Structures are given as C-alpha cells and as structure tokens.
Chain A
Amino acid sequence: EADIYQTPRYLVIGTGKKITLECSQTMGHDKMYWYQQDPGMELHLIHYSYGVNSTEKGDLSSESTVSRIRTEHFPLTLESARPSHTSQYLCASESGQGDEQYFGPGTRLTVT
C-alpha cells in the first residue's frame, strides 16, 4: 500500500471559488506529479516537481498552480473554478528515474 494521500476525495463547488487540492506522501520521494483524468480517458500530466522549490508545467495546459515548499507536500490550487475544471485529479510520487510511480486515491472535482 502506497503512503500517498489526497484530500478531499470528492468536492462539489460553485463557479468562481478558489480551491486547493492537497497531496502528501511519507515515502521521502523527490519527484511528485499531478495528473488530470476524465472518465474513460488517459491520464494527462498537468504539473510536476523534482524537489523542493522545483515546479514545472506538464503537457496539458492547466489554469491550476502548484507549490513545493516541503518534500512531502505538493498542493494544487485553482484560483477561480469553472465547470471545465470538472475532472478527476490524481497525485503521484516516484523515488527515482525509471522507478514505479505511486498514485494517490484521487480527488473527484465537480464545478457547478
């Protein structure tokens, strides 16, 4: 069982609200990732970090932002939620190059 956690698991929120999705891992992994996944579709990388104070945008353009102040914590923030942000957001971490990525349980976000 991977030690990577996401909160909340489910979130329904109105348009225009600011939200932060939390992700934390206790494995000491330097590399962390955020993916977005729509039902029946592949995972798309939206942000990644290779360590503290390192953040990069992924392949899929996203209006969200991330921060990496501590190794174990990689929160994702949406300043103003829109219905187009409705999706599942998955956080993952990895110890090193070519190693297994461990995924959190995901946050299912619905913006009304």
Chain B
Amino acid sequence: KNQVEQSPQSLIILEGKNCTLQCNYTVSPFSNLRWYKQDTGRGPVSLTIMTFSENTKSNGRYTATLDADTKQSSLHITASQLSDSASYICVVSDRGSTLGRLYFGRGTQLTVWP
C-alpha cells in the first residue's frame, strides 16, 4: 500500500534554533518528492521538489534531502523564525504516466516560540 508517514506529528522549538522533519514513504514507482509549507487556514505552498536522481535541494533556510534507496526524506530548517510556524507536508508522486497521483503525509505541525 502506497503511504507517506511523517514524524514528528508536532514540534515546538525556540526562535533561532534548527530542526529536522522526517518523511518515510512506500510509494512505488517513485517519480518525485515534494515538501510543502501550509500556514493555518491557507493552501500549501511548495518549498522543494526532488526527483530520483537528486539527494539534496535547498530553498533559502530550507534544505531537503532524499534517500531513494531507503525511501526517506528530511526537511532541515536553519535559524528558525516565528514565520516558520506552520504545517510541513511531505508529498510523493508516483507519476510515470498521466494516470499517476500524489500521496500526501499528514504533516508536521511546527511551532516556533520567541
């Protein structure tokens, strides 16, 4: 069964600290893995997209890693800011054709305290 599991479910950190969010998936065949940030009451916004051949990608203070062999990904946030408080969603695509689809994790709820 194709699944995307994220951990931890929630996380509280102090402003300025770093943190790492985890994503494990069983989706096959794999096409790409995406990390989205979703602010409360808003739609998700894409942070990174990685294909099979990419093992790291950065977007400002966000760095995503991918190990396609172990089917694991992580999102590292450096020097956290209050505005980083949001849900971070891992999404895996199995698209090898137009019939492919996206599998969503439940997200990690990150709270950054001053």
Contacts and interface: CB of A to CB of B under 8 A. Distances in A.
A101 B106 contact: no
Given A103-B43, A105-B43, A108-B41, A98 B31 contact: yes
Contact of A42 (B46, B101, B106): B106
B104 A106 contact: no
Contact of A50 (B31, B98, B107): B98
B42 interface: yes
Interface residues of A, number: 24
Interface string B15-44: 000000000000000011010100001111
Nearest to B6: A42
Nearest to A56: B99
Contact of A100 (B49, B101, B105): B49
A106 B95 contact: no
Interface in A61-112: 90-92, 97-98, 100-106, 108
A87 to B, nearest CB: 13
Contacts of A100: 34, 46, 49
18 contacts: A40-B107, A42-B89, A42-B104, A42-B107, A43-B104, A45-B102, A92-B43, A98-B31, A100-B34, A100-B46, A101-B46, A101-B102, A102-B46, A103-B36, A103-B44, A103-B45, A104-B43, A105-B43
